[in-house]
Amino acid sequence: MGGLNRPILTDLSEAITWARERWDRQRPVPVRLHEARTTEGALGAPRFSHAFASALDANPAAVMTDAHTQPCGHPLLAGSQATRDCPECFGIGIKDVTVDRYRYPMTLALSRLSNALPVRRTYPHPYLAIVTLAEHGWDAHATARSLDLGWDMAEAHLLRSLRQLHARYQEGPIARVSWTEKSASQQNAESWSAA
């Protein structure tokens, strides 16, 4: 998940800036939880609204397909005949590419972080630390007071928590996996048999 071009979060202010810039890439929270004047079930509770029911059933790893135009690599091929016969762009020089991306990458990263084991039991869970930081308007000192941590401990813990979130954050592209592709064990067996 890391990737080679990912920024390294060297200090807390840089980590907070990174998280704040991506915080809005979450699934929106529904405003209305129940439908008015409806009942459901044996106890007669109001029925969930469609938006709330879909939020409850939602998968944080929901994917969307994104199409964009990019330059074609055919100029790297030798000869003028290769550029005219390029099957991707037909000599135009640009091509359409379809890429799968996560619809709500921050929601997915927070979901993954919520399942992580805490570093120590004396510190709050990294998920709780980040959510508390966001609730306090990204003010690290107010978050430290809220979590009842001294500043030195809070600064190190918040930076560690944001780095853990950063390691789990991924927008895409997502590699498409075909059911017809060979598994890793099949590929290993074939490479061993060929040797």
pLDDT interval class at 1 (50, 70, 90)? very low
Q: Given this model, what pLDDT does residue 179 score?
A: 47
22/114 Cα distance (integer angstroms): 17
Domains of the chain and CATH, by start: 8-25+104-178 (1.10.10), 63-102 (no CATH)
pTM above 0.75, yes or no: no
Q: What pLDDT shows up at residue 154?
A: 94
Cβ neighbours of residue 7 closer than 8 Å, sequence gap 6 or more? 14, 18
Model pLDDT, residue 47:
76
Q: Are 34 and 52 in contact (CB under 8 A)?
A: yes
Q: Is the pLDDT of residue 194 over 90?
A: no
Structure tokens at 185: 């064990």
pLDDT(52) > 80? no
- Percent of the chain at pLDDT above 90? 30
pLDDT in tens, 168-193: 998 876 665 544 556 667 666 665 65
* Tokens matching residue 113: 């972080």
The highest-confidence range among 81-90, 102-111, 171-180, by mean pLDDT, is 102-111
Q: What is the CA radius of gyration of the chain?
A: 24
Average pLDDT, the chain: 78
pLDDT of residue 66: 79
Q: 37-47: buried (b, 16+ CB within 10 Å) or exposed (e) per residue?
A: eeeeeeeeeee
The per-residue pLDDT for 63 is 80
Half-sphere exposure at residue 24, Cβ-oriented, CA atoms within 13 angstroms:
2
3-state secondary structure of 115: coil
Residue in the structure block whose two tokens are 């003028």:
80
What DSSP assignment string belongs to 154-195?
HHHHHHHHHHHHHHH----PBPP--TTSPPHHHHHHHHHHH-
